[in-house]
Amino acid sequence: MSVESEPGVVEGLDHWRTLPAVQQPAWSDRAALAAVSDELAIQPPLVFAGEADVLRGRLAAAGRGEAFVLQGGDCAETFADATANQIRNKIKTVLQMAVVLTYGASLPVVKLGRMAGQYAKPRSTDDETRDGVTLPAYRGDIINGHEFTLEARTPDPHRLLKAYHTSASTLNLIRAFTTGGFADLRLVHEWNRGFLANPAYSRYETMAGEIDRAIRFMGAAGGDFDSLRTVEFFSSHEALLLDYERPLTRIDSRTGLPYDCSAHFVWIGERTRQLDGAHVDFLSRVQNPIGIKLGPAATADETLALMERLNPTGIEGRLTLITRMGAGTVRDALPALVQEVVAEGGPVTWVCDPMHGNTFSSPSGYKTRRFDDVLDEVRGFFEVHRDLGTHPGGIHIELTGDDVTEVMGGSEEIDDAGLARRYETRVDPRLNHQQSLELAFQVAEMLKRS
């Protein structure tokens, strides 16, 4: 029997339409948007409410220091890259990192892809000018095309349907990979041995040897490997494009409450977290676990106000605060924020995004980051939480499973000239497969010491 929702719950889901919504495209064809919205509203949900509830429980554990979150994937997924190989490489990378982090933290790792829906991007300007020609900025494949032509750059509502179907096929493959035996712990560990065969990474052999012995010990002690043949893997993206999130929001038949069924976890970006804005209002009404990005200028007062709006009853695991301060700022800006939030607010899970506070343009003109800055922000995040006695709950990483050259540094020492070799991202620079694994080994060392 289906449960009726409370009066006003469904109406409330559209209240955001009366509020300022920043970073939305200027749709020219409103009739087409309405038709697409109706069609999306009758598509099956991409995830189930019950799965989002499970994730909320896992995030609550991370908030208490009983689990560690690894959230990773592209800055901007593209339709063209939703191929079997690229999806598999990304999942492999996240699983390989997770094994290393599980060992380092001696805790379960909550695996959360920035995948199967990460298609909408906030931009610093509405337009882009090249050689005297001005066109709308690229806002992600769910809105317009990257090619610099008027046709490609004009927002096209039909892209919302393509995003839905591409997310569905991505999720299908994720579910197959993570439950079909592909993710077996012993196999993932074998892949890590392949990575270490490269002499550039020989410094991580000691830890890999320790993991190897731990796995063999489990086998000898009669450990239940059957339960390690499958892994839990959740999906997430920035809930930026409200014309997509709203029609995918459904009333859960068990509880009568709304869930945004486009992903298990959705977050509000640094640029769209206005207290009286559309994004905060909309997400305050869905039950999913949600994230808020907090940059170096975020104050404790505004964070507490956001927590009050988004989690007034203090549900554990509901809110993850994803801090992205920059390596040079984290040690100064984070302590006061954490202290006041913990003293005055309800429960939260703290996650470090060491990517978005560390972006700059290289001399040759590529938007890049330094591997060492990324590591240093994670280190600062751990130091701050250790000093305050709070829990560093996880990391949020922009990565790909491929061999791109977008972030400078790492043991293979990609330099400015090297960026040109294989720079493919549509928006922000991602760690490549090797850099991601190297980061995992380094963070595991930090976790072992803390």
Minimum distance between the CB of residue 119 and ligand PEP, rounded to whole angstroms? 11
* Angular region, 351: left φ>0, alpha ψ -120 to 50, beta rest: beta
Angle between helix 300-310 and 330-344 (nearest 10) = 50
Residues in contact with ligand PEP, counted by CB under 6 A, come to a total of 10
- The verdict on 75 binding Co ion (CB under 5 A) reads yes
**Please, what is the minimum distance in Å from the beta carbon of residue 271 to ligand PEP?**
6
Tokens representing 190 are: 């074998």
d(CA 437, CA 425): 19
Q: Can residue 269 be called a binding residue for ligand PEP (CB under 6 A)?
A: yes
> How far from 121 is each of 25, 78, 104, 440, CA to CA, in Å?
10, 11, 33, 26
Tell me, residue by residue from 292 to 321, as one string, x for binding to ligand PEP by CB under 6 A and - for no binding.
-x----------------------------
Q: Per-residue contact track with ligand PEP, 328 to 357, x per CB under 6 A?
A: ----------------------------x-
Distance in Å, CB of 367 to ligand PEP, minimum: 12
Q: Which does 156 bind (CB under 5 to 8 A by kind): ligand PEP, Co ion, none?
A: none
In the chain, what is the greatest distance between 2 CA atoms, to the nearest angstrom?
Answer: 69
Q: Residue 445: helix, strand or coil by DSSP?
A: helix
Burial (CB count within 10 angstroms: exposed 0-12, middle 13-18, buried 19+), residue 284: middle
**Smallest Cα–Cα separation from 36: which of 145, 162, 141?**
162
Query: Using CB distances below 5 to 8 A depending on partner kind, what does residue 269 bind out of ligand PEP, Co ion, none?
Result: ligand PEP
Residue 240 binds to Co ion (criterion: CB under 5 A): no
Tell me if 122 contacts ligand PEP by CB under 6 A. yes
**DSSP character at residue 141:** T
d(CA 249, CA 245): 6
| Helix, strand, or coil (residue 304) | helix
- Which of 75, 115 has the CB closer to ligand PEP? 75
Stretch touching ligand PEP by CB under 6 A, among 57-65, 94-102, 209-217, 265-273: 265-273
* Binding residue count for Co ion, defined by CB under 5 A: 2
Which residue is at the shortest CB distance from ligand PEP? 269
What is the distance between the alpha carbons of residues 318 and 333, in angstroms, rounded to a whole number?
24
Range 47-80 burial, b when 16+ CB lie within 10 A, else e? bebebbbebbebbbbbbeeebbbbbbbbbbbbee
Please report how the helices 205-220 and 84-105 are oriented relative to each other, as an axis angle in degrees rounded to 10.
Answer: 80
Retrieve residue 198's tokens. 């490269």
Residue 385: which of Co ion, ligand PEP, none does it interact with, CB under 5 to 8 A by kind?
Answer: none
Using rule CB under 6 A, residue 77 touches ligand PEP: no
From the list ligand PEP, Co ion, none, which binds 270 (C-beta under 5 to 8 Å, kind-based)?
A: ligand PEP
In the complex, least distance from residue 295 CB atom to ligand PEP, rounded to whole angstroms: 6
Work out which of 116, 428, 440, 442 binds Co ion, going by CB under 5 A: 428
Answer yes or no: are the C-beta atoms of 429 and 369 closer than 8 Å.
yes
The only residue of 36, 49, 62, 75 in contact with ligand PEP, by rule CB under 6 A: 75
The option from Co ion, ligand PEP, none interacting with 77 (CB < 5 to 8 A, set by class) reads none
Distance in angstroms (rounded) separating the CA atoms of residues 160 and 37 = 8
287-346: contacts with Co ion (CB under 5 A): none
Residues in 235-254 at the binding interface with ligand PEP, rule: CB under 6 A? 238
Q: Which residues contact 202 (CB under 8 A, 6 or more apart)?
A: 196
- Give the residue, chosen from 270, 377, 406, 438, that forms a contact with ligand PEP under the rule CB under 6 A: 270
Name the one range near ligand PEP by CB under 6 A: 152-160, 269-277, 377-385, 437-445. 269-277
Return residues touching ligand PEP (CB under 6 A).
Answer: 75, 122, 238, 269-271, 293, 324, 356, 428
Return residues touching Co ion (CB under 5 A).
Answer: 75, 428
